[in-house]
Structure formats: C-alpha cells, structure tokens
Chains A and B, each alone.
Chain A
Amino acid sequence: MFGKSKRLWPRAPMKTAYDAVIIGGGLHGLATAYFLARDHGITDVAVIEKNYIGFGGAGRNTAIVRANQRTQENVPLYKEALDLWPVLTKELDFNLMFYNCGNLNLAHGEATLKAMRLNVATAQFHGVKSQLVDPKECKELVPALDISDRPRYPVFGGMYHPPGGIVRHDAVVWGLAKGAAKRGVHIHQGTEVAGIGTSQGKVVSVETDRGKIHTPRVLNAAGGYAAALSHAFLRQRLPISVLTIQAMVTQPLKPLLDHVVSSGTYHCYGNQTLKGEIATGAHMDPWPNYTTDTTAYYIKHQAEALTEMLPCLKGVKFMRHWAGLADMTPDMAPIMDGNDPIEGYYVDCGWGYFGFKSSTVTGKYMAQFMAKGECPDILKPFQLKRFQEHRLMGETAALVNYSPDN
C-alpha cells in the first residue's frame, strides 16, 4: 500500500504536435483530457496550464455537488455527474472523498418556497430525490439552525436533496490528472497559451510561451479567463461577465453540520468539510472584475448572515478567506459549443460558481464532441446560439445582470 511513491502525473516532453490541445489545467480541461483518452482512444493530448493544475476555480471552490437544478436541460446532466463520483473514485484509484451528506436549502418566504417547489418537482420527475421540508424538519436535519422568529428572515421551510453533498476538490484535480497521464496525456504546467492559429476556417495550431504546437483541435477550458482568451485569440465574443467570488473557512471543529445548508435570501451557504472546517461562500462582487481580491465587506457580511441562520457559529473563528473568478452568462447556464464557426475550436466555459459539480460529466461529453465532431444531444441546449436568438435557458427565474450597468 505504501510502496515507493511515483509521480502522480509524470513530467512529459513538450511535443510540437498533438491530436488535441486543451487550454487550462482546471477541472473541465483535465476531465475532457481523461475522457478523450478513456472513451475515444485519443491519447495524444496536451493539457496546457499557465500556473499549476488546480490554480483556478478548481482549487478555490467550495466543492458542493447536487442535482436539484431548475430545468430539465440541467437535471439529467448533474444527476449523471453525481453518479460518476463513486465510479471515478474506483476507476482512478484515487479517493475523491464524495461525502454524500445531502443539501438543505432554506426558504424564508412564500415566493422562495414556490420557486423551490418547481425544483423539487422537476427533480422528482427525473427520479432525483428531493423534497420540501417544514421548519421543524429543517431543525431536525440541522440542529444548530435557528428556526425562531429572531432572525431577520425567519425560516419558512426548505428543500432537502439527499443525493448531494461535497467532494474533495483537489482530489478531483489530482485524480483526473493521474488518470489522464496514465493513459498518455501530457500535462504541461507553467506554460501559457498565447494564441490559436487557424487556416481556412480551421484550427491548425496553438501558440504557447514554449513554442508552437500543431493540432487540429483545441478546447478552451480556461475557466474565468476563457472568454478573454476567446476574444484575444479568435475575436469571438462570448456573453460572459467575469466577477470575483469569495469564500472562507472557519477553524476546524468536531462534527456540527451534517448537511450542506444554504439560503439564497441571505446569500450564504455553509458546509462542514471532512477536515472539520465550516466552508462558506458569499455572493459575487457586485460588478465585473478579475481581481480575485477579498474584501472586508464580504467576510463581515458572511459572518452576519451565517450567524443569523446558525447562531452558535458566533463562537467560531474564520481562519482563511480567498477568492476566485466566476464567469457568468446571462442565464446562469454554461456555454458548451464547438466547430462553430471555426472548425476544431471548442469552448466549455460560463460555469460561474457551479462548475465543479458538473466537471466530470461535462468532460465526458465534451470529449465525445471533440472526438466525433458532433454535438451530443445532452449538450445542445448549451450552445452559444441561444443568446443570439434571445432564448435564454430557464436555470434562473430571477432577472440577473452582471454587466457594468448592474
């Protein structure tokens, strides 16, 4: 069991040509590489990562997974993603630490409960477990919850989703890297992609700071930077606003929260990691920026919100506060597209603050897309043209706006 350790992903020579190049050693990039190799025999793949793998959202997220989305375009995708964790844990022989603790979303008013009812019924319609609960049941699930009239927004009810939980985000990055590398994928860290070469409407190469790579296919999976790269390299404008999003953890505690708890009204969610920290996230910055700076305002807001819901946490300390980028589309659903209008150019971005849970399954279907050149049915609703046609996806009911007018 503890024999001499080998590198999880070996150092690889940089070649001048690959069958496929992936920009970004995040979750989506690594997952796509893995499935290209696993399902399609395309192993001559390079993952090009500017910093180190997991530098972006992959290493900064709060690792919540669930499949209780609002629309039928999304639920099946996320359901498959949930089912994949144990499968991949085994296949990669790497413990991804799926902690299937279930998610409790709190409603603080009639309108939210109504919105939740749609999510719950949609989940049930697709055979995904999810149910509405009353305040007493909320308290049974999370004894630390204050269901009295004391909080600013008293608990009115909630939505409980047993199949969800948390996964160790770093493990997913390393496990996929290990699995991909084992199948022959080259992972080049500390390498920046600086351009994409095209000829007659087709991708022919990728420029990096370590030289040119010839390739017929490239996937832009650069997370928060994907839209900027798309524009810089190919003048393709994506309807994406990038905003800093912050998260923080408390010092580690003995078990207190047995479920992920969240509240849209308070802009706040919290869950206890297996290490015992309460990880909690805040809403995005109010306007677009690439800073990844934390702010005094948010950590304070988070403490206020969290302790309204869970007053005992007043006696707990915040230990670390960080930020990453959320790349937001106008309908809070991602963009997965390819071969349009440039043959061989694929994008997988717009994952905002929800792209961890979907990363593996997305990798699976993007790999299929790249291998076959045809968009799999399950990804069709996520194509770019929906914005040109002004037909947004219904993932969010409320009007969202992340542009500078916001």
Chain B
Amino acid sequence: MTIRALAYWLTVYKRTWRASIWSSFLGPLLYLGAMGFGLGSLVNAHGTAQLGGVTYLQFVGPAILAVQAMQTGIMESTYPVFGSVKWNKTYYAAQATPLTPAGIFRGHLLFNAARITMNSAVYLIVMWAFGAARSPWVILGLPAATLLGLAFAAPTAAWAMTLKSEASFNYLFRFGMIPLMLFSATFFPLSRLPGWLRLVAYATPLWHGVALCRGLSLGTLTAGSAVIHVGYLAILAGIGVWAGGVTYRRRLYV
C-alpha cells in the first residue's frame, strides 16, 4: 500500500522536479559557500580553539547538512501535505481506492525520505569536494541526515493534517525552524550560549542531528553519543509516524 502511494509521488516528481531542483540543492551550497568560506576566513583568522581546532568550514559544513535535511523534511510535510487534502484533494482520490489513510501517509513520508536522501547526497558530494569533511565516516552522514529529516517530516505531516488553514505554517517556520537553525550549535559552538539556553538546545532534535553529522564528519563521534543521538531522532520519528496514522485517519475517514 505504502509503495503504491509512493509511486504516485514519484510520478508527480517526474513532472515537477525542475521547479524544485535549484532551491533544494543550491540553497545549502550557498550557505556552505558564504558561511564556510566567507565567514570562515574571518573566524579562522581569530583562531579556532573554540571550534575544537578544526577550520570553520569543517565546523559548519556538517551542520548545514543537518539543517538542510531538517528544512527539506519540514517543507515537504507542510504545503504538499496540506494541499493534498485541501487544494487538489489528491488524498481523497487515493482514499477511494484500496489505500488506507495510514498507507497514504506512509507513502508520502517515504517520498519525503527519498527527497531528503537525494538532497543530502548531493550536498555531501560537494562538502567532500570542498574539503569540509575530515573523516570517511562522513558517508554515514547520509542515513543520519535522512533520519534527522524524518524526525521532522513525520511529526510535521501529522500536525499539518490537523490544520484548517495553512497560515499556521508560518508559526512553525518563524518560531520553530529558524530558531532551531540559529541555536543548535550550527554556526557557533554551544559554549557561546548562556547555560540555560544550552540546556534547551540539548533537548532539541536539530542539536542531536548536528552533533551526529558533525561527529561523523570530524571522526570524533563516540559510540555512546551516537546511540543517544540516533535513539532520540528515531523515537521522534517513530512518534511522528504513529501520530500521522492517527491524524490522517481522523481527517480522511469521517
């Protein structure tokens, strides 16, 4: 069932990928260029002891991998999900067939996972080419980024199905996505933050994703912290998958 629903999204993507290709690949690359090289040259000139002795490009590169995975996960679960029930109503078309609400949900989520993986793979290649990765472990950044993206995509889709209006998405972007991006040890180490804010950051999913990707890219990840980060993200994704099953059914089967 999930595969049948996925097949639909792949067909749609075959038609529409040109429109999204630039934003999904170019955006992160611009970040990497501006932050890693532009801001990086300034930071490096002041010494990088605070960064753990690596260049700013190497510090920020894996964080941007995590950020773009989060962004793709969230974006693909907002308007495309809401539109499928509110605007073009394609979920209702699927629902009239043997597909179940849960199957419709999982098929769409699987497609999102594929988008996250694809974007992350392209980004990883560029990151490697720019010398922003230090360890061959960086290759595991691909499944890590996908898991991170899903940890955002699944709960976001579950929530999107409960909305009556798309206006609420702006709150998610402004008060969810952007603060996470700024304060999750992405562009500067958490040691620069006041203590209480640091504790908040430790609790957020993006921080775990950044720590995971950075640990892999720098080759400094310990097995213990890997388990914690992966576990945290997997639990969040799992809760999202469960919640989506409930909210999709509630919205579609009335």
Same assembly? no
> Hey, which bits of chain A sit against chain B, CB under 8 A?
none
User: B residues engaging A (CB < 8 A)?
Assistant: none
